[in-house]
Amino acid sequence: MSQKEIDHYTDAFLREAAVLPSGESAPLLKGRRAIVTGGGKGIGKGITLRLAAAGADVLICGWGNMDMAETTAQEARALGVRAKTFCADLGQADAAEKIVREAVDFLGGIDILVSNAAYQPNLDLEEYTPERFERVMQINLWSPVRLVSACIPYLKESGHGRVILVSSIHGKRPSGFDIAYATSKGGLQMLLREAALELRRDNITVNAILPGGTHVEFKSGETFQMHQKRVKRQREYARVFGTGSPSDSGNLAVYLASDLSAYITGTSIRVDGGIVLF
């Protein structure tokens, strides 16, 4: 079965997956309100569209490539939910508060936070300047901290608040091609555990998705270069394990955002085809 066929049948399932007290079926996330950072392309788009198929209204946050984000919003609206884009630079300290205000104004509240946006320059240690390293940390680690903190009052009000951090398998194993990126993702692993422990008393779960190799659009507006030895290794991984689809992470996000996962918190789940076993 092709990935397109799998996505088609998954969408149909998500739209009629929950059984109401009346015995009727309804989308798993009907009426839930979500923020997805970096939700306009790549893994973020896969998550956005799966949440939308499951009935969630979505604020899609991006920075650059806003045309792609708007296309994703249009696709989400075609699934029958509310969806809107918002432009914010997560490297700025005030971005989280702006995003949360926009979400509350647009959605009326927040039930789900998906912190997905990330910056990955793919530089060796000696190539990093302090400023570039700090930029990676601000977007990949500090922005999730700020977002979770800003969302807490609304997640408490929700009664079934969900925080989903999109980390990486390189939060558990070295990447070999970007020390700052891997370091930031390792930090996310401890953030999720500490936040899960702190927020469990408020009925807020905190979990992480760890994608492996995933077929996505061009990563950024910068020139994307990797040393030949890195390219060779990545191609070998893809040959052995294949390459995942953004919808693979999206399917897991729906589960973690739903009531089906109410007793799961502080957990990281790999979506990597077994690559960490290699």
Active site residues: 181
Query: Is 202 in contact with 156 (CB distance < 8 Å)?
Result: yes
Task: Give the separation between CA 18 and CA 16, rounded to whole angstroms.
Answer: 6
Query: Is 213 in contact with 238 (CB distance < 8 Å)?
Result: yes
**Relative orientation angle of helices 179-199 and 143-158, to the nearest 10 degrees:** 30
User: Could you report how far apart the first and last alpha carbons of the chain are, in Å?
Assistant: 26
User: What tokens were used for 58?
Assistant: 């979505």
Report the candidate in 95, 117, 112, 196 with the shortest Cα–Cα distance to residue 154: 112
User: What tokens were used for 45?
Assistant: 């788009």
Neighbours of 167 (CB within 10 A): 27
User: What tokens were used for 97?
Assistant: 């508060």
